[in-house]
Amino acid sequence: RSTKFYDFKVQTTRITKLCNTKDIPTINGMYPGPAIYAQEDDKVIVRVTNESPYNITIHWHGIRQRLSCWYDGPSYITQCPIQTGQNFMYEFTLVQQKGTFFWHAHVSWLRATVYGAIIVYPKKGVPYPFKFPYEEHIIILGEYWMKDIMQVEQAVLASGGAPPPADAFTINGHPGPNYNCSANDFYKIDVVPGKTYLLRIVNAALNQEHFFAIANHKLTIIEVDAEYTKPLTTDRVMVGPGQTLNVLVAADQPIARYSMAMGPYQSAKNVSFQNISSIAYFQYYGARENDLSLSAALPRFDDNLAVKTVMDGLRSLNPVAFPKEIDKNLFLTIGLNVQKCRSKNPQKDCQAKGGGVMAASMNNISFIKPNISILEAYYKKINGYFTQDFPGVPLKFYDFVNGAPNNAPNDTNSLNGTRTYVLDYGTRVQLILQDTGTVTTENHPIHLHGYSFYVVGYGTGNYDPETANFNLVDPPYMNTIGVPVGGWAAIRFIADNPGAWFMHCHLEIHLSWGLSVVFIVKNGDGPLERLPHPPADLPKC
């Protein structure tokens, strides 16, 4: 096993997109940022030096941070932000992990431009469980705003309403020809007829789930969230923010230029979004540039069935031992709601506000970030920053799906707070995630830090233990689950990695509105079951 070292300089970089020039936060001046390459079980060290005016942290999405919670990166959960002029050395080992991951800023909305891929190859001599591809390409889906992203974020939160849609969707940072001034700002893969390509697809977008398809070509999914799946061939895929997907594409069509497209999947009702697709090209050698390209058939923006069809086919390739029995079964509602104002102290802070602001909650608790990191407060036993009373069932039950809640949850009364749920080391946990419909139902990409989990079941409507179908044979092993719109998903993991682990909706606006919870996993007894001491250069708040 070896050590891979990377130097990440956080900078502001002037770029021009969509006929608009502005300064954006980047790593090493690159947008998207640099890719990290390593092998399974390698150690990775990334020195982050902050030369920008922004406070920043970096999260290594999907890396389980086995016994290295301090380096996970979510701001105010495991660390304070790295301030201007400071640096922090992230150090972690890719314990039994390989595949496609990504890294992204985990503070404010800086993730809009601060992201890049992490590619982890199998150990030397270990083959892929599929035919070795001729070539591989990273495909990162993103969203671009012409305005300064910090201003966009502040304006949205100040307004209390929904965010403005992005000005463009992007593939590897390129809007593509469907947008103004972008006729030549597109990504292209040149392909050799007859060869097979591996595409490592990452959705790094802020606020939108996306479909992806290539004209006239099939996609064979072989990995989801950096875990192998049984091969699943499909015409299109849906990728939620936070999800990664490896697909094989055979260049088996007549020589031509084919479009690769991303377009919105929008399951919520009455929200404004951009119904435009971003185009890149899959172009055979020998095709002429000005040949008309064949356009990819993306599903309609609200095609829930297209999403379900792929989900139905996902199976672990080698289901490893996973919990058939469970010790803790938590039921968590996920939903948007309206509150007077989002504050820990509404009595004092909400007086002046009028109609209400958008908020989001789990089990009727809307999460408020503390002023120092939860992990540090927990480790050093500093009181007053969080409580340990997150409820394992919703505070209020209601008819989740039918919009008109039965037992009238007055969600203006949802509680705000920094509540955590504490798990003993080794607990076999099941979470039933239930989408709710107070404002609108919606597919939420729920991401858990520190673990991958088995998706043992999902369905539409209210979860009903009597009728729910579970797959206890070969469920997919993921780190981000798109909970079906108006439906539920059941996930399982064993809490054997001590630390403070964030679980949240990976739609950034929902995270800002409080759709998250923190699990504190206690130390076990053995020497390899304990959280290490905090690193000396851990940033201070």
Residues 538, 540, 541, CA angle at the centre, nearest 5°?
A: 140
Q: Cβ of residue 103: shortest distance to ligand C2O, in angstroms?
A: 9
**Cα–Cα distance measured from residue 101 to residue 200, given in angstroms and rounded to the nearest whole number:** 9
Residue nearest to ligand C2O (CB): 61
For position 257 contacting ligand C2O by CB under 6 A, the verdict is no
Q: Cβ of residue 503: shortest distance to ligand C2O, in angstroms?
A: 8
Q: Cβ of residue 514: shortest distance to ligand C2O, in angstroms?
A: 14
Residue number, 308 or 504, with CB nearest to ligand C2O:
504
Q: Half-sphere exposure of 447 toward its Cβ, with a 13 Å CA cutoff?
A: 24
Task: State the DSSP code for 236.
Answer: E
Q: Cβ of residue 59: shortest distance to ligand C2O, in angstroms?
A: 5
For position 210 contacting ligand C2O by CB under 6 A, the verdict is no
Residue number, 202 or 330, with CB nearest to ligand C2O:
202
Q: Cβ of residue 302: shortest distance to ligand C2O, in angstroms?
A: 25
Q: Which of 17, 50, 59, 88 is the binder for ligand C2O (CB under 6 A)?
A: 59
For position 308 contacting ligand C2O by CB under 6 A, the verdict is no
Q: Cβ of residue 479: shortest distance to ligand C2O, in angstroms?
A: 9
Q: Which of 25, 74, 263, 486 is the binder for ligand C2O (CB under 6 A)?
A: 74
Q: Which of 449, 475, 491, 510 is the binder for ligand C2O (CB under 6 A)?
A: 449
Letters for 485-514 (x = contact with ligand C2O by CB under 6 A, - = none) are -----------------x-x-x--------
Other Cβ atoms less than 10 A from the Cβ of 86: the count is: 16
Q: Which of 33, 242, 263, 498 is the binder for ligand C2O (CB under 6 A)?
A: 242
* Count of residues engaged in binding ligand C2O, rule: CB under 6 A: 11
Other Cβ atoms less than 10 A from the Cβ of 529: the count is: 15
Task: Collect all residues with Cβ–Cβ distance below 8 Å to 465 and sequence separation of at least 6.
Answer: none
Q: Cβ of residue 204: shortest distance to ligand C2O, in angstroms?
A: 8
Task: Collect all residues with Cβ–Cβ distance below 8 Å to 455 and sequence separation of at least 6.
Answer: 314, 475, 476, 477, 478, 481, 489, 490, 491
**221, 130 Cβ separation under 8 angstroms:** no
Q: What is the strand order of the sheet 20-27 is part of?
A: 20-27, 3-17, 43-50, 87-93
Q: Cβ of residue 506: shortest distance to ligand C2O, in angstroms?
A: 6
**463, 400 Cβ separation under 8 angstroms:** no
b/e per residue 495-527 (b: at least 16 CB within 10 A): bbbbbbbbbbbbbbbbbbbbbbbbbbbbebeee
**Cα–Cα distance measured from residue 320 to residue 8, given in angstroms and rounded to the nearest whole number:** 35
For position 25 contacting ligand C2O by CB under 6 A, the verdict is no
Letters for 158-197 (x = contact with ligand C2O by CB under 6 A, - = none) are ----------------------------------------
Residue number, 242 or 299, with CB nearest to ligand C2O:
242
Residue number, 257 or 506, with CB nearest to ligand C2O:
506
Residue 42 in tokens: 């390698």
Helices first, then strands: H and E counts in the chain = 5, 32
For position 539 contacting ligand C2O by CB under 6 A, the verdict is no
Letters for 81-110 (x = contact with ligand C2O by CB under 6 A, - = none) are -----------------------x-x----
Strand 43-50 relative to strand 3-17, pairing: parallel
Q: Cβ of residue 140: shortest distance to ligand C2O, in angstroms?
A: 13
**Cα–Cα distance measured from residue 261 to residue 277, given in angstroms and rounded to the nearest whole number:** 6
Q: Which of 36, 46, 50, 61 is the binder for ligand C2O (CB under 6 A)?
A: 61
| Main-chain phi, psi angles of 349, to 5 degrees | -90, -20
The site for ligand C2O (CB under 6 A) is made up of: 59, 61, 74, 104, 106, 242, 447, 449, 502, 504, 506
